[in-house]
Amino acid sequence: MIRMLWGTVGVAVLAFAVFEAVKYGGWTWLALTFGVLGPDLAFLAGLGADPRETGRGRLAPKAVPAYNLAHRAWLPILFLVVVSLLPIAHAVFVPWFVFGLAWLTHIAIDRAAGYGLRDAEGWVRGRAPVA
């Protein structure tokens, strides 16, 4: 049930983000792209990790803090609130707002697909394989 709710949130927020990107064009498309793909750049923090620490859905333990921070749902929500309250020009506001929407979309779709936050060893919480 929760995953279905996350999926609904993801689709709704994505539709709004795409609507805004189509409406305003320009930099909003770049913001949309970075917002959707950006949170997974946390995987780069695990580059060079021992191959025995990764594989079969496991994230390198040294990348877990960055990954978990980028995948906390309250961060893009807070980002959207702050951006909405800042006294900035509309042309500056829209790409940042679309970025926040896309970031929230990424998190919602990840959660709907069953990918949540990671434990200290790099496994999706509650889904570590039995040895």
Instruction: List average pLDDT for each run of 10 residues in the chain, which is 131 residues long.
Output: 93 97 94 94 76 74 91 96 89 92 97 90 71 52
Picking from 9, 38, 45, 42, the residue whose alpha carbon sits closest to that of residue 103 is 38
**Is the pTM here over 0.85, yes or no?**
yes
Separation between Cα atoms, residue 122 and residue 5, nearest integer Å: 25
* Predicted confidence (pLDDT) per residue in 104-120, tens digit: 999 999 999 988 899 88
| Token pair 């949130």 in the structure block, residue | 9
Tokens read off for 37: 């793909």
Domain map (residue ranges) of the chain: 2-112
93-96: long-range pairs with CB below 8 Å, 24+:
94/20, 94/24, 94/27, 94/28, 95/24, 95/26, 95/27, 95/28, 95/30, 95/31, 96/31
SS3 state of residue 41: helix
In DSSP terms, 96 is beta-bridged to: none
11 and 112 in contact (C-beta within 8 Å)?
no
